[in-house]
C-alpha cells in the first residue's frame, strides 16, 4: 500500500511539473511541503476571533453547524482558512488578539472582520462597521509577535509549548485574504461612485505589496494570496447600494459595475504578485482566483446543490431575507412581537449566511475547488505551495 502511495505521489509530482512547464513556469519541486504553521492576514472571510476579542463575541447562531456555538467566526461553522489548516494537518489557528486559551505554536491569525488594506480615517468599528485593525496594523502585530514570542519562549515551561520557535517563521505558510472592505468602504463610508473607487485601487495594491515585502524581510517565504470575491453578488451590497440600477444586474442576479470594480482590483493584485515574484527571489507566491470560484458557485447554485444564493440563511425582512437593522442573532420586532433572528432550516444548502458572509457549506465548496491548484497561479496544490 505504501509503495502504491509513493508511486502515485511521484506520478502527480511529474504531472505537475509537465503542466507547469507547459504553462511557461519553471518550478523546483520537492514534493509536498511540511508547513509547521500558518500566519494569516485578512478580514471577516478569515477572522477566527479577532474582532470578537475586540468588540464582543460573534453571537449565536454563529458557529452552530460545527462548533456548537459562537467561535469568533461570522459564519455558521468553518471558514476557508479552517479548511486550509485541516488540509495541512495544523490545528485551527487562534486569533492573535484572543489571548484566552490560545496556542500560537502552529501560527497566529491577525485577521479581523471589517479590516481593510488602507486605514479608514477617523472611524471606529462601532461607528462605521469597519475595523481599526487595517493591514498595516496587522503587520505591526505580527512584527511584535515575531520578536516578543522568542523573548518569552526562552523563559521555558509552558511558553515553549504555546509559542513557535524561530525556525517556524521561515517555514510557515503566509495567507492573505483582504481587499473586499476597501471597495465597500469607498461606497458606504466615502460615498464614492464606481470610477472613484477604481481610481483608488492602485494605492490599495501598493500598500498591499509593501506589507508582503515587510513580511518577507522578517523571514516569510511562502505566500498564498486570495483575490477578492465578486462584490456584486453579495447580498448586503445589492440591498443597500442605491446607485445600482436594474439595467446593471447581470443574468445571474449580480451587479455588473460592482463586479467590474472587483475584477479591476484583482487585475491589479495579480500584477502586483508578478512584480513581487521578480523582486523577492526566495519567495514562493501563489495567487488564488477566489473570484471565479465564488461566481461559478452563485451562477450554478442549483447544480452545486444549493438554494437561492442571495437569500440569507440568518436574517429577516427585505427581498433577500436581509435587513441591516435585523442582524443575525439579534432581536427584531415582528408584528409587534420581539423575536430572535435565527438561522434557516438547512444551512448546508444555503450560500449566504448573514448577508455578508458565506456559509460553512459554501466555504467548503470553494476550498474543494482551490485546494488542488485548479484556480491558482502557478497551478500548484496547496500542499506544494512552498515550491518555487
Report how far Cα 6 is from the mean position of its chain's Cα atoms: 33
Strands 284-288, 376-377: pairing is antiparallel
pLDDT at residue 7, rounded to an integer: 52
Residues 151 and 15 in one domain: no
CA distances from 302 to 294, 306, 387 (A): 14, 5, 37
Confirm whether 333 is domain-assigned.
no
CA distances from 380 to 45, 81, 139, 203, 256 (A): 22, 18, 27, 29, 30
Q: Burial, 307: exposed, middle or buried (Cβ in 10 Å; 0-12, 13-18, 19+)?
A: middle
Domain that holds residue 40: 35-310+356-383
- Please report the sign of the dihedral spanned by the C-alpha atoms of residue 255, residue 80, residue 139, residue 32: negative
pLDDT at residue 5, rounded to an integer: 46
Taking the C-alpha atoms of residue 165 and residue 153, their distance in angstroms, rounded to an integer, is 8
pLDDT at residue 189, rounded to an integer: 86
Query: What percent of the chain is modeled with pLDDT above 90?
Result: 82
Grid cell, residue 322, equals 436581509
- Contacts with 268 (C-beta within 8 Å, 6 or more apart), sequence order: 201, 202, 204, 205
Report pLDDT digits (tens) over 337-379. Answer: 888 999 999 999 999 999 999 999 999 999 999 999 999 999 9
Question: At 372, which CATH number?
Answer: 3.40.50.1110
Confirm whether 184 is domain-assigned.
yes
Residues 14 and 86 in one domain: no
Confirm whether 82 is domain-assigned.
yes
Confirm whether 254 is domain-assigned.
yes
> What is residue 30's three-state secondary structure?
coil
Identify the helix (H) or strand (E) that includes residue 333. strand 331-334
Q: Which residues are the active-site residues?
A: 44, 354, 357
Residues 102 and 181 in one domain: yes
Q: Burial, 225: exposed, middle or buried (Cβ in 10 Å; 0-12, 13-18, 19+)?
A: buried
Grid cell, residue 138, equals 496587522
Q: How crowded is the C-beta side of 112, counted as CA atoms within 13 Å?
A: 28
For residue 329, the tally of other CB atoms under 10 A from its CB is: 17
Residues 16 and 56 in one domain: no
Confirm whether 322 is domain-assigned.
no
Residues 192 and 261 in one domain: yes
Confirm whether 328 is domain-assigned.
no
pLDDT at residue 41, rounded to an integer: 99
- pLDDT of 55 > 70? The answer is yes
Q: Burial, 6: exposed, middle or buried (Cβ in 10 Å; 0-12, 13-18, 19+)?
A: exposed
pLDDT at residue 278, rounded to an integer: 97
Which has more confidence, 285 or 31? 285
**How many domains is the chain built from?**
2
Over residues 306-319, mean pLDDT: 95
Residues 124 and 196 in one domain: yes
Residues 20 and 104 in one domain: no
Confirm whether 264 is domain-assigned.
yes
Residues 119 and 18 in one domain: no
Grid cell, residue 20, equals 507547469
Report pLDDT digits (tens) over 59-105. Answer: 999 999 999 999 999 999 999 999 999 999 999 999 999 999 999 99
pLDDT at residue 30, rounded to an integer: 57
Report phi then psi at 49, rounded to 5. 145, 5
The alpha helices in 130-193, defined as continuous H runs, are 135-153, 158-162, 166-171, 180-188
Confirm whether 225 is domain-assigned.
yes
Residues 174 and 289 in one domain: yes
Residues 39 and 26 in one domain: no
- Contacts with 2 (C-beta within 8 Å, 6 or more apart), sequence order: none
Report pLDDT digits (tens) over 166-220. Answer: 999 999 999 999 999 999 999 988 899 999 999 999 999 999 999 999 999 999 9
Strands 337-340, 222-226: pairing is unpaired
- pLDDT of 145 > 80? The answer is yes
pLDDT tier at 335, thresholds 50, 70, 90: confident
Residues 139 and 23 in one domain: no
Grid cell, residue 115, equals 479590516
Residues 9 and 98 in one domain: no
Report pLDDT digits (tens) over 227-281. Answer: 999 999 999 999 988 888 899 999 999 999 999 999 999 999 999 999 999 999 9
Amino acid at each position: 500500500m505504501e509503495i502504491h502511495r509513493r508511486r502515485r505521489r511521484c506520478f502527480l509530482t511529474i504531472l505537475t511539473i509537465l503542466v507547469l512547464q507547459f504553462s511557461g513556469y519553471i518550478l523546483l519541486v520537492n514534493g509536498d511541503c511540511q508547513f509547521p504553521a500558518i500566519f494569516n492576514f485578512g478580514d471577516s472571510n478569515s477572522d477566527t476571533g479577532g474582532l470578537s476579542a475586540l468588540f464582543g463575541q460573534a453571537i449565536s447562531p454563529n458557529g452552530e453547524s460545527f462548533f456548537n456555538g459562537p467561535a469568533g467566526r461570522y459564519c455558521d461553522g468553518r471558514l476557508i482558512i479552517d479548511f486550509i489548516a485541516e488540509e495541512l494537518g495544523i490545528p485551527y489557528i487562534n486569533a492573535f488578539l484572543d489571548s484566552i486559551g490560545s496556542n500560537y505554536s502552529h501560527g497566529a491569525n491577525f485577521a479581523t472582520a471589517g479590516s481593510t488594506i488602507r486605514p479608514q480615517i477617523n472611524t471606529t468599528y462601532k461607528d462605521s462597521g469597519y475595523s481599526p485593525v487595517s493591514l498595516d496594523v496587522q503587520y505591526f502585530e505580527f512584527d511584535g509577535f515575531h520578536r516578543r514570542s522568542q523573548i518569552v519562549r526562552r523563559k521555558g515551561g509552558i511558553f515553549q509549548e504555546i509559542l513557535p520557535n524561530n525556525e517556524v517563521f521561515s517555514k510557515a505558510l503566509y495567507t492573505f485574504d483582504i481587499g473586499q472592505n476597501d471597495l465597500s468602504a469607498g461606497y458606504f463610508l466615502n460615498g464614492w461612485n464606481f470610477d472613484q473607487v477604481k481610481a483608488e485601487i492602485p494605492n490599495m495594491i501598493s500598500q498591499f505589496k509593501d506589507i508582503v515585502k515587510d513580511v518577507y524581510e522578517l523571514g516569510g517565504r511562502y505566500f498564498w494570496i486570495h483575490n477578492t470575491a465578486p462584490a456584486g453578488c453579495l447580498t448586503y451590497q445589492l440591498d443597500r447600494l442605491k446607485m445600482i440600477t436594474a439595467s446593471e444586474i447581470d443574468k445571474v442576479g449580480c451587479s455588473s459595475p460592482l463586479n467590474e470594480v472587483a475584477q479591476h482590483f484583482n487585475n491589479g493584485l495579480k500584477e502586483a504578485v508578478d512584480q513581487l515574484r521578480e523582486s523577492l527571489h526566495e519567495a514562493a507566491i501563489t495567487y488564488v482566483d477566489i473570484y471565479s470560484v465564488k461566481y461559478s458557485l452563485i451562477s450554478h447554485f442549483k447544480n452545486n446543490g444549493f438554494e437561492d444564493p442571495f437569500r440569507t440563511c440568518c436574517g429577516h425582512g427585505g427581498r433577500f431575507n436581509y435587513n441591516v437593522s435585523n442582524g443575525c442573532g439579534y432581536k427584531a420586532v415582528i408584528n409587534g412581537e420581539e423575536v430572535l433572528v435565527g438561522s434557516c432550516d438547512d444551512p448546508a444548502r444555503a450560500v449566504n449566511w448573514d448577508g455578508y458572509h458565506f456559509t460553512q457549506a459554501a466555504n467548503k465548496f470553494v476550498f474543494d475547488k482551490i485546494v488542488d491548484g485548479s484556480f491558482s497561479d502557478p497551478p500548484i496544490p496547496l500542499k506544494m505551495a512552498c515550491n518555487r
